[in-house]
Each structure stands twice: as C-alpha cells, then as structure tokens.
Structure 1
C-alpha cells in the first residue's frame, strides 16, 4: 500500500502549502522578488515549475528566490515548498532505482533526506543557472553514495556501475515534471486496480479493459480492435467492469 501512503503524504504537503503561514511566506518573497508577484499561491508556483522542461531559465529564477530566502533564515518550512516542487522528480528516482534499496519506506525516506541535504548545501555563488538539473543530479549522486555506504557496511557488492549512474542523472537534462506526474498517477491507478484483481474483486478481463480505457484513455472501439473482440462485446464488458468497480469502491473502507 505504499502508493496510497505516498498519495496521502502528497495531499498533506499540498494542504500545508495552502495555510496562512505559507501564504505569508509567499507574500514576503514577493516583496523581495518582483518575478514572484505573478503567482497568487504556492499552487501556482508549483504549476509553473511543472510546465515545459527543466531547461527553462525562469525556473532557475524561481528556485534562486526560494533558496536565497532559505539561506537567509534557515526556516525549515522552505523544505516543504521545495519538496512539493520536486515531488515528481523524487518519485521518478524512487521508481527507477528501487533495486538500490528494496525497502520501499526506507528508500523513500532516504531519497527525501538526501534531497534536503542537497538543498541545504547548494552554493548559489558557484551555480545559479540550470538549478533544476543541479538539484536533481546532486540528489541522484548523493543517494547513490548513501546506498553504497550501506552496501559496504553489510558486505554487498555495488549494484550499479558508473554508466548506469550517469544515465540516470542524465535524465535531468530535459525533465518534464508534468509528464512524470502523469506517469506517477497512472502507475498508482494501475496498482490499485491490480490490488482489486489479486483480491478477486474484479476479473482479469475487467482489469485489462479498465487499464486500457480508464487509465490510458483508449476508446472502447480501440480497445476492442486491440483485444480482438467485437465492439458490442467490449461495450458490455466495460459496463460490467465499471459496475464491479463502483461496487468495490463503495465497499472499500
């Protein structure tokens, strides 16, 4: 149930950013940084940071403002704001490198702890551009170092070579957080349907049909063609699957 737990953590984090104390932090930042005045809420900031790719120089401008504010007062609440901005990127590291630490909860805790270490150590006098890539890459490398120390302590050989590490960090050159978050949402939805399948609450044909039409947005006609069944059969199967899913969701505690 790690997906459900992660979803609740994310919702709690986003709720926190909407509270009065965080609204005051944004207002204070806007007094010092005119560029930030275009944002009404932290939700607007996050939405801006998710659009397009990490190479947009305006994203470094936002991060510079936040990191400078953090450096001036060391208020740990800035951690929450940066964590919300980078959430999809951190989830991407977590999914792609699950083999580095097979304990789901410990792995996520180590990734977020590593991320906080990175933003605390960043020196804007040495690097003030391409900050999304800088923070993402440093998090990957420091997380790998953390895992390497753990492997060494228990006598396990390194499970990643330098080429693999470079390939993973290289993904930051053109990060698209919107796309990452879409994939995260799709995987979460698929995992939930798979849990229903394993529990016997829906049948396997229902699972495949719901994944195809509900999650990946295929039409019933497209799904019928790919599955090799006629349209009417697919339509009735979809109706039965939706009815079964509504019943499952209704009874779910």
Structure 2
C-alpha cells in the first residue's frame, strides 16, 4: 500500500494521501495516542488523522532490507520488531524517543538446550520475531523457532527517558510450536462465557440474589471477585506443530505433526 484513504461520514469520495512508495510500501498501521503509526520499509511515519499530514518520520533500523514486521502499543510504549531480527524495540508513544531494545536470543536458546544439535543450530541461525501481542501487562513474543516468550512491560510516563529504564527479563514458556509462531491473539474469557449463557432464569435469579445482599463487606468482596474474573484472558497462539520444551525424549510420533497447524491456549 502506497497511500491511505479517509472516507468522510456519510457519502462522498475519500481523501487520499501518498505515504509510501512502490519500493517502500506501507505494510503495518497502528493507532497510537491519537496518531497513526505507519510502517514503511524500515521507517515509521506518524500521520495526523485530522490533517492527513506526515508529522514525524524516523528510521527503526539503518538496514533497508529489514522491514517493519510487527507494531503493538500499550499506554505510553510502542513495541516494534523488524524482519530478520531477534530484537524488539521500545519507543515512546508521544516523544517518539527510542527507549530500549530487548534481545530474545538467549531466552530462546535456553528453551532449545535439549533439542538436537542440528535443529538447535538451525533455529538459532534463522531466529527472528514473527508475532507480537500485549496482554495482562506482558509483551507476548512469537518466534520462528516456535518458542513463545513473555516480557514484563515497564511503566512508562510522559517523563520516561531511555536512561530511566532497565532491560526486563525475558521468559520462555514451557510449551510452544515446532515451527514458526504464525500469530498471537487473546480473548476476554468473562465476556465470551457471558455470551454463551442460555439459561436466562438462572441469570435473573443470580441478579436478584446480588440485589438482596445487605452485608457491605461481603458485597465488596464479591465485587472484587467479579472484577478479577472480568479481567481473565485466554491467550491463543497459532503455529506449525506442537512442542514441549521440557523434554526431548524421542518416540514414534515425533515429527509426525510438525507441519500440522496447532492452536495453543493459556489462561491468564
């Protein structure tokens, strides 16, 4: 994509603005703090959605062959990964300052320590980030090695600078994929379970019971419990094969499902 289009409310032709080019198309877009971040080749272009003008442009990497692969945001932080890279970079959402980069290579190597030498060396040589997602104050990272990692996100304010941050610890999950992690997504478990209820009378009875509760401490406790349940999430990864990184015991079925797509689910 080399341009963006904004269609006015109602009828009318869309307004268009050229952002990228044939050589450097726009392949990623994300709304951040009232602006639109566009990944064009190895650069980020920040667009004002009201004027459709490019306000800021900066390079994420000097290597023009490494395009923007993933962009996710949380609060005042924007996490970016490029193709063919095993590092994720953090930028400030409003000052656009580069804050830190985090390498996932060591954490992946630890999960692959029991793998066959040839497989381990191949995955290490080709290691790159394939998916990013933010959930529960964690940055979830999918990799070409099949390893899924989590990174605790630092608290970022309008005054946060690079010098005030320390590099967080990267943790690899026990379960992952044999091949590439194709995507990461999440769903609110409380909302999905509420939508699936069909017993309306039971729901009505529960609401009536809640209204009849007179004990304030008990009501406060129940409210806290309901708030906790409301924030329960289900994280889903999709990728090639399934891998338990705790063991490398070979068996007859090893390798049989390596090319079969699998979904892995975590309650968070």
Structure holding more helix per residue = 1
TM-score by length of 1: 0.25
Specify which structure has the bigger relative contact order, considering alpha-carbon pairs within 8 angstroms and separated by 6 or more residues.
1
TM-score by length of 2: 0.24
Structure holding more strand per residue = 2
